[in-house]
Structure 1
Amino acid sequence: MRKIASLNTNPGLTRRQALAMTLGAGASLMLPGVALGNVQSFVSGIWPEAHSRGVSRTVFEQAFSGFSPSARIMELTQRQPEVTNTTGQYLGNAVSSARISTGRAMRGEWGQTLANVQQRYGVQPEIVLAIWGMETNYGSYMGGNNVIHALATLTHGRYRYDFFKNELLTALQILQAGHVSAPNMVGSWAGAMGHTQFMPSSFQSYAVDYNGNGRRDIWNSIPDALASAANYLRAHRWRNGETWGYEVQLSSNFDYARAWDAGKQSLSAWHAMGARRTGGREFPRPSDQASIFMPSGSQGPIFLMLHNFDVIKRYNNSNNYALAVGHLADRILGVGPFERAFPANETALTRDQRRQLQSALNARGFNVGEADGIIGSRTRQGIIAFQRSAGITPDGHASSALLSRLR
């Protein structure tokens, strides 16, 4: 998508946005020990490739005016914090009452535009609104960084050099095409831009000129931004009129071990295993393929995720993000909270704590292999075996409560 896969999400705003908020106006801060000549040489080295892509000297010089690499951006690439929030904590921040309320207000304000966008691109209004809400809190914060300078900093610092150099050159092409001026091309420290936070390469592929003024302006035109998000989802095979997934309840003898390894199977197959839609409702299309998501094991809400859930993940490859978008969309529509609450006292395990859990399982004879902090199928099998021996529901969930019990 328009995001960088390695820059994953944090509660509320995405991690990329949250880190950008710490950056503020720091894009002009000179890196220690970087000589002016070094910077000039770098900029001069970018020019031939920019020129070969049709960028004029005037646009190029305007874009790089006042550029000096940002030490704070480069520091952020080295100290991205480990995400240590549970899914429940993530959703508590991301799908807040304020964000739901604002989403409903925006649905009223932009209702006609959203209806037309759905007719043209085949994506429901509430999903587009939820992505807008998740990405920039409905445009209230779009990053505040000069995108050219941020991307140039990352390229100059040789951080994922090929990727960010291409994004930089693509951003210059966007300026050349006149979609936005250099001072107004604002975004995150990693270069995600506008209301819906597209990387430049995704802008080139999916941004649209919805209002027909000759510019694809995802910074200043809300209709362009919303239509661009919908076009992105359509391009990744969004199914109009279908939902993202269902909350389910499981039978008392549900086979969690089998479920973890089942991958995708039909809703009717999940039903046969003991997964029932909450509220006594039926699955409208039992042949739809779904995968199970058990973020808190047997102790919290459990979901069967459909095709559109995977499409949302193309926007941001995170189960928590996709669940938040789907749930926020439902709440904007007036659907209530999940029928089952997330555990109130659960805390997420750090990588070191996951290693401790694996070491404890190994010490008790439940061989899970190397204690690497990665909860894979072998570790889940060990957890399930331990839970069965201890008379605990064998759900395979690596929780803080389980770690405490193993210690």
Structure 2
Amino acid sequence: MLPLATVLFAFATAAGAGDPDAGQGRLDRCLAELRPLALARGVSAATWDAHMPGRRQDPEVQRALDRQPEFELPIWDYLAALVDEERIADGQARLLEHAGLLARMEAEHGVDAATVVAVWGVESDYGRVTGRKPLLDSLATLSCAGRRQAFFRGELFALLALIGRGDLDAEDLTGSWAGAFGQTQFMPSTYARVAVDGDGDGRRDLVGSVADALASTAHYLRRAGWQPGQAWGHEVLLPEGFDTSLQGRRQRRPLSYWTDRGLRRADGGDWPKDERKAALLLPAGPQGPAFLVFRNYDAIFSYNAAESYALAIALLSDHLRGGAGLRMPWPTDDPGLSRAQRRELQALLITRGHDIGEVDGLLGERSRRAIRAEQARLGLEPDGKAARSLLEALRRGD
């Protein structure tokens, strides 16, 4: 739920580039100055003094701000790992496992089970990958260096208030580099504002309680404008010569506007019998899949303001309902890799003598460095991309 920004690498300069001790000193002084501000925002002195002394700066969080995959990767690469066979099968298993809980949430909040489980799957792989960064260190660093310090200070204070109130245990509290955490990756201020107690134990624990996390996600989406019983949208087929300048999430028009111009559902289904507003999305241009999206898509988009992210959740939710997937292929001859294929690629890189660490399908810097080396060896552009062409070349033993 973190608004996206292009961030300057101000941390290294402000901290005395190459001098971690100087950077740590600046962080310590900054946090001392923040203490009275935190207390004025409702954080108790006891909570601050118990958890903020000794916080460590983490320059990696600054670098990460410039590397958000929703905006760096072609959409087919981004979706390949997020909407793959494993995540679909796991999500369908979770639907069965938590059927009673999900039915209760749907009755209470009006958000269907498949959408809530899709958010869970995309955000944390159903609770498996919730982030390894010490949250207080990350938010302390971002509160004292780089752009948008005021925003991250608000998140730091919100997190400390949650700890002080007893919703969270500060010990070993980890999350993403930007401060999102828990089963469905809420930012602290969103957690404080929207989280609900789904299991009735008197706490709002989105880290350890699946019920709390899923109920809170449904509550968030409903507050974001979710319309019960309506679809997020549909893949559509464009007529020949269609004016693609009409596309864009903010160019919303009555449904009849689009049907009068020849847009048809790709699955052959009927359109709703109303005049709900819709927008046309062409995430890969007119040669790729096209989507007509409704108000519920905007609710998903609000969770993390990136078109590829919202489409990942929307398309995964369709699969969890038993949908057949996209009718129109993405306009590329080198599609992205699923997580199983990424693990296979990592294993092949190890056989070539590269030290990439664990074979886990998560392509960190060591994996990408090995990929660049193999691409250079094969005469390919050394861009570090985990592409199907490279996997096939290594399979052949090239």
| TM-score, length-scaled by structure 2 | 0.76
User: Are the aligned partners of 1:192 and 1:200 in contact in 2 as well (CA < 8 Å)?
Assistant: yes
CA RMSD in angstroms comes to 2.5
AA aligned to 2:3 is: I
AA aligned to 1:5 is: L
Q: How far did residue 84 of structure 1 move?
A: 4.1
Q: Which residue of 2 aligns with 1:249?
A: 237
AA aligned to 1:285 is: K
Q: How far did residue 210 of structure 1 move?
A: 1.4
AA aligned to 1:71 is: P
Task: State the secondary structure of the residue aligned to 1:303.
Answer: strand
Distance 1:244 1:154, change over 3 A: same
Matched, 1:5 2:4: yes
2:328 to 340, 343, 346: 340
User: Are the aligned partners of 1:146 and 1:183 in contact in 2 as well (CA < 8 Å)?
Assistant: no
Task: State the secondary structure of the residue aligned to 2:286.
Answer: helix
In 2: Cα distance, 1:280 partner to 1:79 partner: 39
Q: Which residue of 2 aligns with 1:137?
A: 125
In 2: Cα distance, 1:217 partner to 1:259 partner: 40
Q: Which residue of 1 aligns with 2:94?
A: 106
Distance 1:329 1:260, change over 3 A: closer
Distance 1:42 1:259, change over 3 A: closer
1:270 to 258, 265, 272: 258
**Contiguous gaps of at least 5 residues in structure 1:** 9-29, 349-407
User: Are the aligned partners of 1:175 and 1:181 in contact in 2 as well (CA < 8 Å)?
Assistant: yes
2:80 to 92, 96, 114: 92
Distance 1:201 1:343, change over 3 A: same
Matches within 5 A, 1:31-46: 32-34=20-22, 38-46=26-34
User: Are the aligned partners of 1:31 and 1:69 in contact in 2 as well (CA < 8 Å)?
Assistant: no
User: Are the aligned partners of 1:131 and 1:196 in contact in 2 as well (CA < 8 Å)?
Assistant: yes
User: Are the aligned partners of 2:118 and 2:313 in contact in 1 as well (CA < 8 Å)?
Assistant: yes
Which 10-residue stretch deviates more, 290-299 or 220-229?
290-299
AA aligned to 2:251 is: G
Q: How far did residue 62 of structure 1 move?
A: 2.7
Distance 1:221 1:31, change over 3 A: farther
AA aligned to 2:121 is: G
Task: State the secondary structure of the residue aligned to 2:218.
Answer: helix
Q: How many residues align?
A: 326
In 2: Cα distance, 1:33 partner to 1:265 partner: 56
Q: How far did residue 316 of structure 1 move?
A: 1.1
Matched, 1:284 2:272: yes
Q: How far did residue 259 of structure 1 move?
A: 5.3
Q: How far did residue 31 of structure 1 move?
A: 6.2
Q: Which residue of 2 aligns with 1:188?
A: 176
In 2: Cα distance, 1:241 partner to 1:83 partner: 31
In 1: Cα distance, 2:25 partner to 2:285 partner: 56
Task: State the secondary structure of the residue aligned to 1:290.
Answer: strand
1:251-285: CA deviation from partner (whole Å, max 9, x where unpaired): 22433345579921122221111111123321023
* Runs of 4+ residues deviating >6 angstroms: none
Task: State the secondary structure of the residue aligned to 2:96.
Answer: helix
In 2: Cα distance, 1:231 partner to 1:221 partner: 15
Matched, 1:214 2:202: yes
Task: State the secondary structure of the residue aligned to 1:42.
Answer: helix
In 2: Cα distance, 1:46 partner to 1:260 partner: 41
Matched, 1:119 2:118: no
Matched, 1:71 2:82: no
Distance 1:85 1:48, change over 3 A: closer
In 2: Cα distance, 1:280 partner to 1:250 partner: 13
| TM-score, length-scaled by structure 1 | 0.74
Distance 1:190 1:322, change over 3 A: same
Task: State the secondary structure of the residue aligned to 1:183.
Answer: coil
Q: Which residue of 2 aligns with 1:396?
A: none
2:152 to 164, 170, 173: 164
In 1: Cα distance, 2:64 partner to 2:250 partner: 38
In 1: Cα distance, 2:65 partner to 2:250 partner: 36
Task: State the secondary structure of the residue aligned to 1:93.
Answer: helix
Task: State the secondary structure of the residue aligned to 1:299.
Answer: coil
2:226 to 228, 233, 238: 238
Q: How far did residue 192 of structure 1 move?
A: 0.5
Task: State the secondary structure of the residue aligned to 2:22.
Answer: coil
Q: How far did residue 136 of structure 1 move?
A: 0.7
Distance 1:81 1:254, change over 3 A: closer
1:151 to 115, 134, 139: 139
Q: Which residue of 2 aligns with 1:48?
A: 36
Matched, 1:310 2:301: no
In 2: Cα distance, 1:250 partner to 1:36 partner: 56
Distance 1:50 1:246, change over 3 A: same
Distance 1:284 1:75, change over 3 A: closer
Identity percentage of aligned residues: 35
User: Are the aligned partners of 1:42 and 1:156 in contact in 2 as well (CA < 8 Å)?
Assistant: yes
In 1: Cα distance, 2:173 partner to 2:105 partner: 24
Task: State the secondary structure of the residue aligned to 2:237.
Answer: strand
Q: Which residue of 1 aligns with 2:388?
A: none
User: Are the aligned partners of 1:85 and 1:347 in contact in 2 as well (CA < 8 Å)?
Assistant: no
Task: State the secondary structure of the residue aligned to 2:225.
Answer: coil
AA aligned to 1:230 is: A
In 1: Cα distance, 2:154 partner to 2:3 partner: 13
